[in-house]
Amino acid sequence: TCPDSVFYTPTEVEDNCIVAALACSIKELSIVKAECLDNVTNWENMQHHIDSTTAALQMMIDKENSTTDTS
């Protein structure tokens, strides 16, 4: 765990801003990884969780973009 780390994520997001909010969460994951590097006892496990969460968020972004694409 990283007791000094704070994870910031958007709240009360309007529908038209969901992609930006998800992208913000992905950026926060990379910041948490950097902040926690010295405190991690199982780096591979932490990396796996970050990668899985990032992939899930990216899939949501891709899905949202594909359903709102008007080109």
Q: What is the pLDDT of residue 70?
A: 59
Mean pLDDT of the chain: 79
Q: What is the per-residue pLDDT across 19-49, written as a single tens digit (0 to 9) for each?
A: 888 888 888 888 777 677 677 778 788 888 8
Separation of alpha carbons 4 and 1, rounded Å: 9
The domain locations on the chain are 15-68
